Chains A and B, each alone.
Chain A
Amino acid sequence: MGKSSKDKRDAYYRLAKEQGWRARSAFKLLQLDEEFDLFSNVTRVVDLCAAPGSWSQVLSRVLIKGEKFGRSAWQDRDARVRQQMLGVFPEAFTPEQREAIERETSSSPTTTTSSTSETAARAATTTTTTNPDVKIVSIDLQPISPLAGITTLRADITHPATVPLLLSALDPSYDASSSSAADNTQAAQHPVDLVLSDGAPDVTGLHDLDIYVQSQLLFAALNLALCVLRPGGKFVAKIFRGRNVDVLYAQLKIFFEKVIVAKPRSSRASSVEAFIVCLNFRPPAGFHASLEEPLGVGRRLDRMVRERELQLPIVAEAIMQSVRGTWDCSVASTRTASNGGGITEVEVYDEMVESDKDNGARWIAPFIACGDLSAFDSDASYQLPEDYVSLDPVQPPIAPPYKRALELRAGLSKPSR
């Protein structure tokens, strides 16, 4: 696909270039932040699997340079205008927003998508003073071009040797030898507020292998997070929503009060990708992150999930109690609640979730779509103005492992033709 047809097919690809982001994934983090307010009271952050560095770039611009990005950074004004015109989603707008839309439409009714997003980019950025207390460490196997105020490390997050590297990067006074010799547990003296991981393997197409490798990246990130995160801290990582993902949700729930699956509008609906947002870190009592027993292998997590389940108080819903006050599990499983929008929410009980002994306990985390409806739609095609000049990507793509094979093949075919 050519550059310009990709611009039309993928609004965020185009926006990223227009707004100077290294990759379109920057918007995923911005939209996650908008929903979950990830960056409030955050000064110390670890960004894992960071290359090419778009998430670090967001951290750098928001936390260090103090820029603020609102929805206007990814808002499709054209869509808002049409939503207004069609009278769709009145509930999606506050009266002030509607007023603003009307103002915009009346002042420049013929604005094109490209010019609006350019102005949006400018308008979106408001700079305040830079914050000197901020500490951001980014890690990846691939080199990351330098970013203002960010410590970049080239290391493998699945490798045990990376933990002391990270700890000393976070805290220059950290002494690996003394700390790890003591009890083989690593903990940061000055813990961090937020750990991010946007890592994913090159998928093979063999679904459960891909999910396994992705979960290994996630557990490696979690392992590091457990070493450096402060209680109450946050953890955000990419996941593949496939088979047995509910087992993973259940395992993450051990360490965090809230576990939510989030899908930013900038992530395509056709992709299995989603983000797990874990809020309020609260490790189980007596738990120590350990290199000797890393997460992701062994049955430790599953044991913990089951222990936790046993500890949880079982509260019978009123509906489950029969007239005599005893529990009656055979009553209709359907519980309903009406929400404001006129939709009846129905809850169901799935015995399959509870009865799987082989693969571990399951739990389906709540889903939240983030980035509001006025955001560009990553699945839609957009019309660009005729004079639109397609920009080059901020960072060229990484060379694939088969690059040499392509070169060889090209070299071989040349003399004969």
Chain B
Amino acid sequence: MVHTTNQLRLTRDLTHVPITALALSRSPSGQLLVFAGEDSDLVVYEAKTGLLKGRLLSRTSVFVDQPIHGIHVRHGRVLVWGHCHVAILSVERLTKQQQQQGHDGVVDGDGVIAKATAPDWIFHGAFSERDDAVGALATAHNEVITLRYSSDAAEIHLGAAIAPSRPMLYSAHLTWIADDTVLVAGGTVFGHVVVWKCRLAKQQTSSTETLFNFEGHEGSIFGVDMSTVTLSDGSSARILASCSDDRTIRIWDITERGDEASRSDARKAPQVIDTGFGGSDFNNADDTLNRSRQNAPIAAAMGHASRIWGVKFGPSYGEDALSVYSFGEDATMQRWHMRLSHATAAQEADCSSSRHLTGKLSQSKTFSLHSGKHLWSRAVLLEDKAAFVATGGADSQICLIDESSLLNQSSDSLGHLLTMDTADILKGLIDSGSSNTYAKEIISRYDFLSYDHILVLTSQGRLLLGHLKEPYVDPEWEQIQVPQDLRDDVKLCYVVKAIAPTAALLGTTSGNIYHFHLPTQRITQITSVPGKVIEMNSLLSRDGVTEVLIYLHGRAESHYLVIDVSAGHVHNQGQTKGLDPRFVPTAAGKLNDLLVIGSRHGFLSVLDRQEDGMYHSILDIATRSRDTITAILPLPPQSGSPHASRYILVTSRDGKYRIYELDRRGGSMLLHLRHETSPPFGPMIAGAWFTQDTVPELVLYGFRSKDFVIWNETRREELATIECGGAHRTFQLTFSETIPGRYRFAFTKTSKLSISSSDRLTHEWVKAGIHGREIRSLSSNGRYIATGAEDTTIRIWEYLQVADGAQAELRCVAAMKAHITGLQKVVWLGDDYLFSSAGNEEFFVWKVQSLESDYAGLAVMCEGVFTDKSEDADLRIMDFDVCQSDDGSSMVVTMGFSNSVLKTYRYISDGGRFQLLAKGRYTGACLTQTRHLSMRDQVPRLLTASTDGHLALWRTEPQEGTLREYVLEQAVPLHQDSIKSLDLIESGESYQVFTGGDDNSVAVTWLGGTSGSTGSASWAFLRRNIVRRAHAAAIAGVLMIRRRTGVVGISVSNDQRVKLWSIPSGEDGNVEMIRGDCIGVADAGDIAAVGDLDSGTATIVIAGVGLEAWSLK
């Protein structure tokens, strides 16, 4: 019975849900296709290696209420499974439909050729290599089910389940080893790995043979993979990889050698295998020992910070080596280097006849390309000359990593890291002479002139020029002739600084400045300064002229040079003046004519050039950092604007970057903090740049424990990670402002110079992601959506509606990391204030502004920090409401705490102060919802809801001084259990309150005004409606929107349904259900509306594990 009076329709416009399955395949026309399972949809992207973002080809709804857990592509067909469901689709139809489909790229249902249901959860499936009508499925009870597909009838026929034993599995993998035989590996819940063969016979009964039963893991096996490798001696071996809850990856030899002894154990294994972990205490100790010796892994390694969800074999390279990839709960992928060999004769004495494999696993690289937790899906594509790995995360992001370069390398030079010392460099020089004293000569300073050249200085004053080649090819070196008379002074050189691709400056502790010119290879002294040169900063280059600031040891004053780049002529020389003597300059930048210098202790000074030609300090401020300022750069100006940029970006060793606005009014100068945040790496940001795109993007670089990281803040994507040992070392970076991923990074480690290079990005983001953890709260101010998540971050997004030729898009404009605990609630007040609360009584006020710059990021600054905490500061601020005060001069915030306490504060933006206005306490039950009703005496009347299922109304009474106390006016029971969500709409003299409970019910309560004896208007509960079985699970998100036809309520639940309700406004009528739909967001935590609500289309956004936008028509 569809309600006929209301023609509301829900359409899903945008979805960001965990990527639960992935497959890679090459189309006949050579496209690299990425197949992704996004909830119940199969989405096909075309990868664009080298460029950013893949292209969406099609989206097909495959299952109902069931995420896709696996995809296998073979013979032009796609086998898809999830839970016990399987479906077959055609690659051609999925990739060709793009020509006919509508702009939204969504193809519904008709892409599915056939569907079937198996008796159990499916972990893996594969078509036969030979016969495209036959496939096999592996289930969660270690069973194999044959799949026969009849193309005439477009039907799937599933055979009976075959199993040698039925342990419960957490993972399985099968592979066809003959036309009628599959090899199955199952990873059990209890840490065993079983390997068995299954002969599938068409007529007679199928047969099984158990080959191996590996024990050793100490936790459930979450992933298994199998591969056949050809060793250098020509023999071939089959190996298995497993990964587990115990944080280990193990490689096992599963080669069948016709050697009965090697697996007699498995054959004789008792019918009932012991279950449970640490089975050894069940068994005879000798027996266990024997078994462990024979069935020991050939290699094992520990990795990842938490559980390991998957393991995959990668390409073979070099001699007897291959890569293995593991995919973790910690959202990283790790590449392992696996070296295989046969056991030596001595070792073989133990196990007589067979040649057992041994090997070694070593970690070669960590890829942290996802945010939050969980790499749920992965795929590997191995081709003759290429290798790709795809990862899919809970952050709804898909990454594609090009590992083809592994194939070009010998197994010994992993990674693009070249390491050398002076002796290595001089060895290659023809004219190096025969001197043998290089050992004492170490590389001291260096800088990149450009991507092609590096200038290196040794401790003996030797100047070396490196011509840089392909990333993993050694550079070609030449020695620069330093005139005899300069040599002793050049030895004292402390700084090498490139000022152009063809020129560099050298600064010595004796105060001399030398100019090096690449085309002529000449070095000349150009000037000297009164002190030891400790750093130089190139500020601005224009028309072959560059400005350089020279820092001197122990001096606040720096020297300023204007130099002709090629000739080295000093056009102008000056000095900074008026700085505090304690000021230690560390970084500088130019904003138009002004010079801004940052210090070691976080101070900023703005200097203006005065008539004497010197820069005089006109403003000094202490930043929020007490740590070294590492870089200062101007923001790009706004194109089309006559004004120059007013903003500078400042990076610091405290892990944050800040944007300041320079406010010059008449004679006075002010510096306002507009933006402050920390990127997800840290705790040290070393510098930043803006890309040369039409909309410039911000790229930051710095250190995260032992790694150097290059991070695109605008896209929130990690461009490079280089293990260098940590921040405390000499390093230099050269980068491209136009080609993402093109960089060289040089660093000193154990007195050696290492250079890591990349000429392009070797990974791409096929699909952009969102928070990698559950979103707990959503708020929309019409223009922007704010999300607060379990990952303790807040993000602000711009939602771009579906338009002609464009799909809906969610663009991240800001990300804030200040909370330490998971977010409880975020709320907008107007366009420029955002409030957020979390556990530990954390409450922040954020000021949000747009910048007049082509840089599109929003400026967000934490203006207020709530400090009036309880003694242990361990309560959760479950909910709060905020409004403008009556006179508009301040804001009023009411917080509901987990200990039943209510507090109302006045928030004054000047100074970010909180003044307590009123407090009260409920019964002891945790307050889950707090809302302002009308204001009275500067304090609001309140509506609260709590874990006891009651709604309560509050008014205040005067207490001591100006403080007021909340008095409970009325409390009524409504839900049986915790009220998890609440929304209210004011209509004239009444409120409609829509609630969702943990008790599966939604309720509508009508509040009406009453007139008390004192004449003060007050609120009272009028009527209550409840729908007891509104959903099958708890309802954590409700929303009401006003439409022309009346008020519509929307509820979202853990049962992954969204339901629309018609909510009558007046005295009559009851709540009615309009319609419902399935959502892909699990654990839905909140719901919000964007856009024009009254008429036409409204968009509702649902967030939890993932985020979806639906339009309501």
Contacts and interface: CB of A to CB of B under 8 A. Distances in A.
A74 to B, nearest CB: 13
Contact of A141 (B275, B307, B900): B275
B771 interface: no
Given A86-B968, A381-B926, 8 more contacts: A206-B374, A207-B1083, A212-B83, A213-B168, A242-B1082, A245-B1033, A359-B64, A381-B897
Contact of A243 (B69, B978, B1027, B1054): B1054
Nearest to A358: B64
A154 B278 CA distance: 13
Interface string B1070-1096: 111100111000110000000000000
A93 interface: no
A344 B898 contact: no
Contacts of B140: 212, 216
Smallest CB-CB A-B distances: 9 pairs: A401-B219, A269-B978, A79-B924, A405-B247, A298-B119, A380-B926, A241-B1033, A246-B1032, A156-B275
Interface in A344-381: 344-352, 356, 358-359, 362, 364, 366-369, 373, 377, 379-381
Interface in B165-201: 166, 168, 189-191
Nearest to A372: B948
Contacts of B1071: 346
B921 interface: yes
A173 interface: no
Contacts of B874: 5, 8-9, 381
A346 B246 contact: no
Contact of A336 (B948, B1070, B1073): B1070
B971 A86 contact: yes
B515 interface: no
Interface string A136-180: 000001100000000000111011110000000000000000000
A397 interface: no
B1057 A352 contact: yes
A334 B976 contact: no
Interface stretch (A38-46, A60-68, A325-333): A325-333
A346 B245 contact: no
Interface residues of A, number: 88
A263 interface: yes
Interface in B507-550: none
B744 interface: no
A403 B948 CA distance: 39
A163 to B, nearest CB: 12
B218 A404 contact: yes
Interface string B244-258: 111110000000000
Contacts of B168: 158, 213, 216
A300 B248 CA distance: 39
Given A269-B1034, A377-B947, A344 B1024 contact: yes
Contacts of B1026: 343-346
A367 B1001 contact: yes
Contacts of B166: 160
A87 B63 contact: no
Nearest to B952: A88
A358 B85 contact: yes
B1072 A348 contact: yes
Contacts of B277: 141, 401
B899 A272 contact: no
28 contacts: A5-B874, A79-B924, A79-B925, A87-B968, A89-B973, A141-B276, A141-B277, A205-B373, A207-B1105, A242-B1056, A244-B1055, A245-B1055, A269-B947, A269-B998, A298-B119, A333-B1, A343-B973, A344-B1024, A344-B1070, A346-B1070, A352-B1057, A364-B1029, A367-B1000, A369-B998, A377-B948, A382-B924, A401-B218, A404-B246
Interface in B116-150: 117, 119-121, 139-141
Given A334-B1070, A351-B1, A381-B926, A343 B1024 contact: yes
Contacts of A91: 973
Given A82-B924, A352-B1057, A380-B924, A405 B1034 contact: no
Contact of A244 (B65, B190, B972, B1070): B65
B72 to A, nearest CB: 19
Contacts, number: 260
B439 interface: no
A356 B64 contact: yes
A56 B119 CA distance: 34
Interface string B948-971: 111010000000000000001001
Contact of B1024 (A272, A342, A352): A342
Interface string A67-83: 00000000010110011
A297 interface: yes
Nearest to B773: A205
Contacts of A261: 1000
A307 interface: no
A299 interface: yes
B923 A263 contact: no
Contacts of A362: 1032
Contacts of B1032: 241, 245-246, 249, 362, 364
B976 A242 contact: no
B242 to A, nearest CB: 14
B120 A345 contact: no
B276 A154 contact: yes
B578 to A, nearest CB: 46
B881 interface: no
Nearest to B329: A205
Interface string B921-958: 11111101000000000000000000111101000000
Given A156-B275, A367-B1028, A380 B302 contact: no
B119 A89 contact: no
Nearest to A350: B1076
B1055 to A, nearest CB: 6
A396 interface: no
Nearest to B1000: A367
A132 interface: no
B238 interface: no
A208 B83 contact: yes
A140 B1005 CA distance: 47
A208 B66 contact: yes
A383 B871 CA distance: 10
Nearest to B3: A333
A343 B924 CA distance: 24
A379 B978 contact: yes
A312 interface: no
A120 to B, nearest CB: 15
A408 interface: yes
Contacts of B1019: none
Contact of B1027 (A88, A342, A348, A368): A348
B999 interface: yes
B376 interface: yes
A405 B1000 contact: no
B899 A208 contact: no
Contact of B220 (A8, A82, A330, A401): A401
B1027 A346 contact: yes
Contacts of B430: none
Nearest to B1069: A334
Nearest to A334: B1072
A338 B302 CA distance: 62
Interface in B982-1035: 998-1001, 1003, 1023-1034
A76 B924 contact: yes
Interface string A380-393: 11110000000000
Nearest to A201: B189
A380 B900 CA distance: 7
B141 A297 contact: yes
Interface string A199-220: 0011011111100110010000
Contact of B1033 (A272, A298, A358): A272
Contacts of A402: 219, 245-247, 306-307
A104 B998 CA distance: 32
B487 to A, nearest CB: 41
